């Protein structure tokens, strides 16, 4: 709640009239909720809200001093010019935009849009090429050169508010999750009736798939054919990690895809127990704050696992970080994502010799698991227990998005949003027609966040209609699904593929 303090020359007679809100009025109008005594000379007018850059006229009646003289404030103009005009927040929105949020109203004038008044410094050289007024408190800076996840500082010089309040301010912020790196979503392998070893790239800007499969020898120049592997994008390295999968056995090779050079490289760390055993149906996600890939779960040698490993892409080593205490049960076919807003890894559901509906979070800083399953009614307050769902993190909206899956013999098409700060699930399934307004029922599809267009990409999967190769986009702002028909070629209809 906000308030104004009002000062008088004489001591106030604190009777019923003083506390009657009807005796006070502002122009422009403000709702006064209560009156509080501060001192014998000062009243606090508690109000619901006000504008930082507006001058108000205060009118008072029936308030007297201890001698019965009607009082007026020393300055009947309540001027909010003393409220500072400050830069409140700065954040990366996409690869070429930094958004500034102000406390107070930014003046939409030419002098405030001079690019030389905005300087961004950090790990890489940033050029500010444009200033766009979004609304009274929001401005977007068009930039180039941000290709690091390190800390940046934006410096403002001689920016003014609508009431001519001047600021020279700075704000430190971070570019996370590969913001600034133009890259495509990468898909590898899967099963379309045949075990696959092809590599595909999806360009969200042009809505095109293209076959990026390298030439050479399988197992040397690119991974051998497989399915039920997992992949994750490592923004510091601008590479994608692939581990495990199956082609009839248990694969334990570690590969990295170079998003710039468009090549696969195989790494052979010291074998188990210094590397995860051959595993499929595991999950890997990238912890950007710690620059580590987290590996969890899967099945190895016919046994479900709940081991936790970390991949260090710089050292090219795996480390077993499985805690001795609390952890999720051993499972396969679960969903996992990394929540950038809290630095936690989120796990939901899966098959642990039954269909699981728990929500867990991994804290890499403390190397601990926590069961954060909310209470309530399954399917209402949180997703019903399921397996073979997919989940990806919506960086722009700070939510992990879960889609589809399978409950017994029933395929799902609901969409859920996980808030890692409040530890709550929200059903965000759009209304409409299946296959038109949202994807048809499916399991074993793949999802990845496109950092260029700020949308989640969903591809393929399986259901009662066998395999699929449709491409959908999730808009976390509008909370809508849109099917896109790519131009030209696209991967064959399949399931079990990896995508990042």
String of DSSP letters for 124-145: S--EEEEEEEEETTEEEEEEE-
Contacts of 422 (CB under 8 A, 6+ apart): none
Amino acid 176: pLDDT: 44
pLDDT over 90, % of the chain: 62
Residue 25 has pLDDT above 60, yes or no: yes
Of the two residues 1 and 195, the one the predictor is more confident about is 195
Q: What is the mean pLDDT of residues 406-420?
A: 96
Mean per-residue pLDDT, 157-164: 80
pLDDT, tens only, 350-366: 999 999 999 999 999 99
Q: Identify the pLDDT of residue 73.
A: 67
pTM score, whole prediction: 0.69
- Report the C-alpha gap between 129 and 43 in whole angstroms: 49
User: 132, 189 in Cβ contact below 8 A?
Assistant: no
The class level of CATH for 185-499 reads mainly beta
Give the chain's mean pLDDT. 88
State the average pLDDT over residues 119-148: 85
Domain 86-174: which CATH class? Answer: mainly beta
Longest dimension (CA), the chain: 99
Given a contact cutoff of 8 angstroms between Cβ atoms, the answer to whether 331 and 277 are in contact is: no
Torsion of CA 159, 162, 164, 169, to 10 degrees: -30
Structure tokens at 337: 């994502």
The whole-angstrom separation of Cα 201 and Cα 262 is 10
Looking at residue 113, the DSSP 8-state letter turns out to be G
How far is CA 385 from each of CA 230, 353, 378, rounded to the nearest angstrom? 22, 13, 7
* DSSP 8-state code for residue 215: P
Length of the chain: 500
Calculate mean pLDDT across residues 264-275: 82
CA angle 443, 444, 446 (to 5 degrees): 115
Instruction: Write the DSSP assignment of 216-237 as a string of letters.
Output: S-BTTTBPPS-BS-EEEEETTT
Distance, in Å, from the CA atom of 446 to the CA atom of 436, rounded to the nearest integer, reads: 19
Tokens representing 477 are: 């702002």
Tokens of 475: 């808009």
Whether 2-82 shares its CATH topology with 86-174 is answered yes
Give the CATH fold of the 2-82 domain: Immunoglobulin-like (2.60.40)
Q: 348-404 pLDDT, tens per residue?
A: 999 999 999 999 999 999 999 999 999 999 999 999 999 999 999 998 889 999 999
Give the pLDDT mean for 261-281. 87
The Cα–Cα gap between 406 and 125 comes to 47
Residue 491 has pLDDT above 50, yes or no: yes
Among 99-103, 165-169, 272-276, 391-395, top mean pLDDT goes to 391-395
Confidence of residue 83 (pLDDT cuts 50, 70, 90): very low
Higher-pLDDT residue of 128 and 89 is 128
Q: What residue spans define the domains of the chain?
A: 2-82, 86-174, 185-499
Q: Does 228 score more than 50 pLDDT? A: yes
**What separation in angstroms does the CA of 338 have from each of 60, 270, 327, 413?**
56, 27, 17, 22
Lowest mean pLDDT, pick from 124-138, 150-164, 364-378? 150-164
What is the arithmetic mean of pLDDT over 139-144? 90
Q: How confident is the model at residue 172 (pLDDT cuts 50, 70, 90)?
A: low
Under a CB-based contact definition with an 8 Å cutoff, are residues 107 and 91 in contact? no
Confidence of residue 180 (pLDDT cuts 50, 70, 90): very low
Mean pLDDT across 234-251? 92
Return the closest-CA partner of residue 172 out of 147, 154, 159: 154
CB atoms within 10 A of CB 92: 23
Residue range 340-350: mean pLDDT, rounded:
94
Residue 77 confidence (pLDDT) above 60: no
Cα–Cα distance measured from residue 148 to residue 78, given in angstroms and rounded to the nearest whole number: 46
d(C-alpha 66, C-alpha 76), whole Å? 20
173 — pLDDT class (breaks 50, 70, 90): low
| Cβ atoms of 415 and 474 closer than 8 Å | yes
pLDDT digits over 428-472, tens only? Answer: 999 999 999 999 999 999 999 998 788 999 999 999 878 999 999
pLDDT score for 178: 40
């Amino acid at each position: 709640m906000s308030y104004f303090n009002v000062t008088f020359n004489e001591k106030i007679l604190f009777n019923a009239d003083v506390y009657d809100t009807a005796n006070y009025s502002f122009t422009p109008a403000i709702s006064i909720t209560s009156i509080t005594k501060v001192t014998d000379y000062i009243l606090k007018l508690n109000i619901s809200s006000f504008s930082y850059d507006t001058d108000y006229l205060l009118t008072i009646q029936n308030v007297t001093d201890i001698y019965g003289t009607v009082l007026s404030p020393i300055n009947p103009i309540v001027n909010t010019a003393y409220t500072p005009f400050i830069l409140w927040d700065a954040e990366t929105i996409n690869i070429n935009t930094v958004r500034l949020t102000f406390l107070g109203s930014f003046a939409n004038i030419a002098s405030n849009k001079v690019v030389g008044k905005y300087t961004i410094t950090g790990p890489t050289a940033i050029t500010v090429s444009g200033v766009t007024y979004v609304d009274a408190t929001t401005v977007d800076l068009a930039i180039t050169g941000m290709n690091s996840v390190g800390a940046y500082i934006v410096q403002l010089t001689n920016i003014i508010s609508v009431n001519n309040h001047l600021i020279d301010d700075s704000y430190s912020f971070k570019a996370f999750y590969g913001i600034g790196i133009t890259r495509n979503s990468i898909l590898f392998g899967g099963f379309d009736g045949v075990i696959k070893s092809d590599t595909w790239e999806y360009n969200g800007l042009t809505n095109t798939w293209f076959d990026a499969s390298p030439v050479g020898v399988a197992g040397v120049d690119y991974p051998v054919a497989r399915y039920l592997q997992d992949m994750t994008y490592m923004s510091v390295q601008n590479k994608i990690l692939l581990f495990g999968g199956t082609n009839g056995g248990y694969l334990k090779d570690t590969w990295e895809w170079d998003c710039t050079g468009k090549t696969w490289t195989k790494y052979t760390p010291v074998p188990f127990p210094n590397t995860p055993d051959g595993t499929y149906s595991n999950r890997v996600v990238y912890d950007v704050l710690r620059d580590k890939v987290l590996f969890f779960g899967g099945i190895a040698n016919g046994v479900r696992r709940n081991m936790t490993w970390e991949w260090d892409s710089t050292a090219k080593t795996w480390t077993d970080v499985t805690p001795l205490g609390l952890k999720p049960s051993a499972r396969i076919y679960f969903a996992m994502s990394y929540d950038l807003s809290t630095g936690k890894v989120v796990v939901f559901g899966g098959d642990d010799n039954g269909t699981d509906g728990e929500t867990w979070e991994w804290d890499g800083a403390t190397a601990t698991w926590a069961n954060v399953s909310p209470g309530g009614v399954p399917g209402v307050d949180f997703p019903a227990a399921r397996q073979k769902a997919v989940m990806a993190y919506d960086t722009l909206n700070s939510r992990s998005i879960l889609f589809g899956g399978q409950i017994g013999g029933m395929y799902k098409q609901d969409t859920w949003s996980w808030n890692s700060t409040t530890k709550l699930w929200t059903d965000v399934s759009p209304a409409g027609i299946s296959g038109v307004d949202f994807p048809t029922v499916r399991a074993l599809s793949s999802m990845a966040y496109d950092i260029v267009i700020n949308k989640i990409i969903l591809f393929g999967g399986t259901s009662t209609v066998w395999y699929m190769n449709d491409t959908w986009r999730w808009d976390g702002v509008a909370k809508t699904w849109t099917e896109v028909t790519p131009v030209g070629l696209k991967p064959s209809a399949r399931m079990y593929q990896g995508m990042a």
